[in-house]
């Protein structure tokens, strides 16, 4: 049994059931886990659990994909994660780093109105713990961070690498849902 499954005994688990008609999820419950004080004391991480069992998995698929949102302060991460699964569940293949989720954070409590979009990024927060192992299958974690309109435009105009370079500035905290978007 993987450490990921063992953690469920120690963590608060949020099981969110939704209807197949509303979300198109084949009436499978959406399972989420909330990690308090992760990656640091003033942050919370929300992640899907067994999302990869519903999507992008077949007899020849050796990699599963889970979603994570990690933010500082009081934020409604459950709403954002649920929205992300609604969008991503309709895709034929897993999103790649740099995938934009338009208006993902719009109206989400605790997130600045200037950061209304979501972007899939590499999971830099837990470099020594990834990828995960689940029953002999590798499970990749796709981290979603809030992004502003100018940041999305930069990625579209100059490529995602240019946006990553701007985000690499030590003064930019991608986990701060109240941060100012990186200007050109």
pTM of the model: 0.74
What secondary structure, in 3-state letters, does the chain show?
A: CCHHHHHHHCCEEEEECCCHHHHCCCCCCEEEEEEECCCCCCEEEEEECCHHHCCCCCCCCCEEEEEEEEEECCCCHHHHHHHHHHHHCCCCCCCCCCCEECCCCCCCCCCCCCCCEEEEECCCCCCCCCCEEECCEEEEEEEEEEECHHHHHHHHHHCHHHHHHHHCCCCCCCCCCCCCCCCC
Per-residue pLDDT of the chain (184 residues; tens, 9 = 90+): 343 433 333 333 333 333 333 444 444 567 777 877 766 777 788 888 777 665 555 555 567 777 888 888 788 888 888 888 888 877 777 778 898 999 999 999 989 999 999 999 888 776 677 777 767 677 778 889 999 999 999 999 999 999 999 999 999 998 899 999 987 6
């Amino acid at each position: 049994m993987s450490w990921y499954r063992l953690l469920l005994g120690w963590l608060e688990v949020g099981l969110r059931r939704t209807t197949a008609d509303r979300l198109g999820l084949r009436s499978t419950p959406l399972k989420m886990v909330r990690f308090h004080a992760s990656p640091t004391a003033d942050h919370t991480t929300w992640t899907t659990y067994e999302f990869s069992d519903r999507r992008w998995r077949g007899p020849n698929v050796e990699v599963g994909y889970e979603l994570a949102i990690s933010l500082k302060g009081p934020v409604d991460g459950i709403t954002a994660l649920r929205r992300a699964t609604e969008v991503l569940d309709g895709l034929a293949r897993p999103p790649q780093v740099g995938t934009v989720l338009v208006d993902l954070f719009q109206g989400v409590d605790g997130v600045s109105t200037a950061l209304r979009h979501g972007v899939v990024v590499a999971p830099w927060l837990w470099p020594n713990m990834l990828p995960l192992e689940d029953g002999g299958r590798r499970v990749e974690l796709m981290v979603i961070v809030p992004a502003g309109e100018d940041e999305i435009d930069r990625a579209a105009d100059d490529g995602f690498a240019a946006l990553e370079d701007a985000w690499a500035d030590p003064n930019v905290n991608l986990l701060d849902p109240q941060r100012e978007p990186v200007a050109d």
